[in-house]
Amino acid sequence: MKNRIVTNEAGGGGPLLTGTIEESKAYNCHFELRERAEAQSDNVKSICHPELDSGSVQRCELSVSLDRFRNKFGMTVKGIVCMSAFTMAEILLSLTIIGVVAAITLPSLTGNINERTWNTQRKALYARFSQAIALMPSLNGYGTLTEDESGSVTEDTAAETFVTAGLSKVLKINNICDYEHLADCGIPSKITALNGSNPYSAYSQGLPETLVGFNPNFDFDGGDVHHSYSQTDTKIAAFETANGESIAVYYNPNCRDETGVMNNSHYVQPYMCANFIYDLNGTKGPNTVGKDIGFITAFNPVDSVVVAPVPLTRDIGRYNLEEGRRQCTKADSDSRLPNHAELKSMFVNRFLVGLADSDYDYLSSSLLEPGKYWRMAITVGTIYVNEAVVDAQVRCVKR
């Protein structure tokens, strides 16, 4: 619709409108001006000749109204524009406001969409892994480890064989990479831990090439037999799934069943069979734990326990069992205390979780018996029983 100019060249009852718009539309367009003029004068109708036809009366009334409006407010009637569209300034202002609002809300909106996408992918990946590992007859015994007299490994095909001869039989896998070619399977060269650090910055492939490099607590000397643990080191392998996830795996070919030690304190390390670090979208980013990157850990070679905890970004304090459960729900309505298997997985991946410098004992929700629960010494990987009323550090996980 075009703008129309109101003119009053005759100064009286002559035609006010030019163009192709019918007079009724023009009359409506200027109705507000007419009302304001009428409010400042006698009845306009009394000025116009009562014997004029209806169209002439309308033109007469509008002319008188605009003349009086001009005289009242000192405005020139000629050139008043009947606006039927926005001005350029109004459009630019509107676009500016829209741009500012978009700049503020778009990152949050995009983040929420990504978070929902990652959550959906994470749950689907965990379901596939749980089903696949349950189909494997056993998780230990794959590959070859050959050591020299000093105990150094001279041949290591364990993790790669675990994937090629074991996991690939129960899970659709497109590509398998050895420890020297992780990037070929989409493993990013930099991984940001849950606390924002880059714990493996010294490694050009993003992850250490051996299990002990990934977590030094798989081979440590605490000064006595009760505070020391040693395990034959193994090299990392990687693969890509048919769904596009990139997975790195640390493997323990000699893992054992923990059933016989579940009534006493024990180290976690001997019972970890495989630890998977996944990237849901390869190298695209943000390559951050808790977003597109996470971990899945399998314990026990037969009837394996498979967990994929997603910890919150920080500890929330020291509490007993009852209060710890309540504080997790208070910290995030979608969080809870980790069970003992999830807590063990967090120990295995302590550098990714951001627990590398922690010397706390952490609380789990798993009960050994009424009034007693499992907790873990995160520095060495010992899990033991604690009274439910005794405080321990709390790190919650998402449901």
pLDDT digits (tens, 9 = 90+) for 256-294: 999 888 888 899 999 999 999 999 998 888 999 999 999
Cα–Cα distance measured from residue 360 to residue 378, given in angstroms and rounded to the nearest whole number: 6
How many residues are given for the chain? 399
- Do residues 324 and 287 share a domain? no
Shared domain check, 227 and 376: no
Task: Classify 185 as helix, strand or coil.
Answer: helix
Contact in structure between 398 and 333 (CB atoms under 8 Å): no
- Looking at the structure, do residues 123 and 53 belong to the same domain, yes or no? no
Within 53-152, strands assigned E span: 80-82, 145-147
User: Does the structure show a pLDDT above 70 at 74?
Assistant: no
* 293 and 252 Cβ atoms separated by less than 8 Å: no
Q: Is the peptide bond before 15 cis (omega within 30 degrees of 0)?
A: no
| Residue 150 placed within a domain | yes
The reply to whether 267 and 298 lie within a common domain is: yes
Give the total number of structural domains in the chain.
Answer: 3
Are 292 and 226 in the same domain? yes
Considering the chain, what is the average pLDDT of its residues? 83
Residue 14 banded pLDDT, cuts 50, 70, 90: very low
- Of the residues 273, 308, 343, the one at which a domain ends: 308
Name the residue among 382, 386, 348 with its Cα closest to residue 367. Answer: 386
- Does one domain contain both 216 and 239? yes
Distances (CA, A) of 198 to 149, 214, 279: 36, 13, 16
The Cα 235–Cα 254 span in angstroms is 14
Q: By the 8 A CB rule, do 154 and 215 touch? A: no
Which of 308, 340, 373 is where one domain is finished? 308
93 within domain boundaries: no
Residue 63 has a CB neighbour count (10 Å cut-off) of 24
Do 130 and 259 lie in one domain? The reply is yes
**Cβ atoms of 258 and 273 closer than 8 Å:** no
Let me know if residue 107 belongs to a domain.
Answer: no
Band (38; pLDDT cuts 50, 70, 90): low
How much is the CA Rg of the chain, to the nearest whole Å?
Answer: 38
Mark residue 240 as left, alpha or beta (left: phi above 0; alpha: psi -120 to 50; beta: remaining). Answer: beta
Regarding whether 253 and 327 lie in a shared domain, the answer is no
Nearest alpha carbon to residue 157 among 173, 145, 141, 139: 145
Residue 151 lies in domain = 114-308
Residue ending a domain, choose from 262, 280, 308: 308
Residues 165 and 28 in one domain: no
Amino acid letter, residue 209:
E
Looking at residue 230, its pLDDT comes to 79
What pLDDT shows up at residue 324?
A: 96
**Where is average pLDDT lowest: 69-73, 74-78, 332-336, 385-389?**
74-78
Question: 7-11, 200-204, 243-247, 275-279: lowest mean pLDDT where?
Answer: 7-11
Structural domain contains residue 102: no
Q: Measure CA 268 to chain center.
A: 30
Of 128, 80, 385, which Cα lies nearest the Cα of 278? 128
> What percent of the chain is predicted at pLDDT more than 90?
56
Q: Return the minimum-mean-pLDDT range out of 127-131, 145-149, 263-267, 328-332.
A: 145-149
Find which of 26-30, 50-54, 127-131, 378-382 is predicted with most confidence, using mean pLDDT: 127-131
Residue 95 lies in a domain: no
Predicted confidence (pLDDT) per residue in 328-342, tens digit: 999 888 899 999 999
Cα–Cα dist 165/226, whole Å = 36
Examine the pLDDT at 59 and tell me if it is beyond 90.
no
Categorize the per-residue pLDDT at 53 as very low, low, confident or very high, splitting at 50, 70 and 90.
low
Instruction: Give the three-state DSSP class for 201.
Output: coil
Q: Are residues 58 and 162 in the same domain?
A: no
226: its two tokens: 């009760």
